[in-house]
DNA sequence: GGGCCCTGATGACATCTGTCATACGAGCTG
DNA sequence: CAGCTCGTATGACAGATGTCATCAGGGCCC
């Protein structure tokens, strides 16, 4: 019997997946969570074999939760499967770096999930083939850490002075980073750059 | 037997909901769609009793699909339930104006969906109580149609000239609309205004 | 130590943005 | 008809933004 932890902030999806997976008679959902904090707590408490985590979850995100679970486990940590709607190569890279075993976009047929869970439970890794292919062909994120940082701060439409305060840099420096990020992305405004970087899964 | 059309671009959710609802022995999923065009086509072809539509679907959205289904039906049109993650009062208003019978956020427990489908099938309407309460207390969108239009075009970080081209207005006029929208929303940049309007579900 | 790259910072300059006053025509209201 | 509002447009101006050259300090390699 494979013991599962299911984490997703959307009750509808989590509930539907729960009953779907519980139908399989070698799978058992032992805990459910809607937040990353609950996820980490319940993983430590129930020690599931496999944790299926949505990437987009408050208050942080699935990757943070995965890292915490893997770091905090004494003994063998659970295998972790990340499920996401925002399935971009860059996100896949970050997920694999965090040590997750499975990466599944929400465009995967529901029927296949149970099999992926079984594969991962016995130690295999599963990565959506489509995204894996993109990750191998698409170019890396061209932006530096600082550039990503200022773009993150620019996402809500803030002015330079606000961004500068948020990242603890001089306003002029922020403008330089924004400028180089825009040049790298081939766009004309910081906001277009932030939008683009977000779409690509870089921030 | 209640005949259902299920439309959602996420296979995972659609598949999970499908098996969940099929488990109920008075419900039967007769068609599934991942795009709004398929949704409209299959609704005409299968004439389901209830259509469960995700709001966020390519290439248009669930509300467009709902309007087309209701307009195109000869005889009694299907009852329509909109499911959405982005459940804001403004969206609810637009949905009700389009003639849908049910409005369900994705935070609804999966187990309750079957009952909502049954209620709607016999002619009741169902609106998530939480959102309905917000819709009654929260203030209306203060923006005019033109303001919303330019903000929509501004969302990707475009410059004034691009926005002007997109909405077929003079650049100066676009700036006036952006300016008044920013004033109404109490923000300092067009991008912050667009971000805000998006969060509120206005664009 | 001397050179070299990297990060963060500054200042100057052209351009873009946000604000505001104003204008003009369409439609409506008295 | 005169007066009014509304949508659209223009021009002017201050301030914000994007670009670029340049500089100071800190590691790092020879």
What are A46-62's pLDDT values in tens digits?
999 999 999 988 888 88
B203 touching chain A per CB within 8 A = no
Question: What's the CATH fold of domain A145-199?
Answer: Arc Repressor Mutant, subunit A (1.10.10)
Distance of C1' in D22 from CA in B159, Å: 30
What percentage of residues in chain B have a pLDDT greater than 70? 99
pLDDT given at position B104:
92
pLDDT given at position A81:
94
Q: How far is A7 from chain B (nearest CA, A)?
A: 13
Q: How far is B74 from chain A (nearest CA, A)?
A: 32
B30 touching chain A per CB within 8 A = no
CA distance linking residue B104 with residue B108, whole number of Å: 7
CA distance linking residue A87 with residue A54, whole number of Å: 11
pLDDT given at position A42:
93
- pLDDT category, A73, cuts 50, 70, 90? confident
CA angle A80, A82, A88 (to 5 degrees): 145
Distance of C1' in C30 from CA in B145, Å: 29
- pLDDT category, A91, cuts 50, 70, 90? confident
Which residues of B fall within a CB distance of 8 Å from A156? 191-192, 195
pLDDT given at position B183:
86
Residue ranges of chain A that CATH labels 1.10.10.10:
145-199
* A2-136: CATH number: 3.40.50.2300
- Say if residue B3's pLDDT is above 90: yes
- pLDDT category, B201, cuts 50, 70, 90? confident
The tokens describing B196, both together, are 């805000």
pLDDT given at position B105:
92
Candidate from B10, B109, B194 with C-beta closest to A15: B109
Which residues of A fall within a CB distance of 8 Å from B13? 12-13, 16, 106, 110
- Chain-wide mean pLDDT for chain B? 88
Burial class (CB in 10 A: 0-12, 13-18, 19+), B45: exposed
Q: What is the DSSP string of A123-182?
A: T--EE-HHHHHHHHHSPPP---HHHHHHHHHHTT---HHHHHHHHT--HHHHHHHHHHHH
What percentage of residues in chain A have a pLDDT greater than 90? 40
Q: How far is B109 from chain A (nearest CA, A)?
A: 5
Entry field: residues in chain B: 203
Nucleotide of closest approach to A187 (CA, C1'): D18
pLDDT given at position A37:
93
Residue A50's closest CA among A12, A97, A9, A101?
A: A101
Instruction: Give the residues across from A29 on adjacent strands.
Output: A4
Q: What is the pLDDT of residues A115-140, one digit of tens each?
A: 999 999 999 999 988 888 887 776 66
Residue ranges of chain B that CATH labels 3.40.50.2300:
2-136
Which residues of B fall within a CB distance of 8 Å from A113? 12
Q: What is the DSSP string of B73-116?
A: -SSSPPEEEEEESS--HHHHHHHHHHT-SEEEETTS-HHHHHHH
- Asked if residue A144 keeps its beta carbon closer than 7 A to nucleic acid strand C, the reply is yes
pLDDT given at position B185:
87
What percentage of residues in chain A have a pLDDT greater than 70? 99
């Amino acid at each position: 019997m494979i013991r599962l932890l299911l984490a997703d902030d959307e009750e509808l999806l989590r509930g539907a997946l729960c009953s779907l997976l519980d139908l399989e008679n070698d799978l058992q959902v032992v805990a459910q969570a809607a937040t990353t904090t609950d996820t980490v707590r319940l993983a430590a408490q129930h020690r599931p074999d496999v944790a299926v985590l949505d990437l987009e979850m408050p208050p942080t995100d699935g990757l943070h939760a995965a890292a915490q679970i893997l770091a905090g486990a004494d003994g063998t940590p659970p295998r972790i499967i990340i499920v996401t709607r925002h399935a971009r190569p860059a996100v896949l890279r970050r997920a694999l770096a965090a040590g997750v075993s499975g990466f599944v976009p929400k465009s995967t047929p529901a029927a296949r999930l149970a099999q992926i869970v079984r594969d991962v439970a016995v130690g295999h890794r599963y990565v959506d083939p489509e995204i894996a292919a993109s990750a191998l062909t698409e170019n890396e994120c061209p932006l530096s850490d600082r550039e990503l940082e200022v773009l993150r701060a620019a996402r809500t439409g803030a002015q330079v002075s606000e961004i500068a305060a948020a990242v603890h840099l001089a306003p002029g420096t922020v403008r330089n980073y924004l400028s180089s990020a825009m040049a790298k992305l081939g766009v004309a405004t910081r906001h277009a750059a932030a939008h683009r970087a977000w779409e690509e899964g870089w921030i």
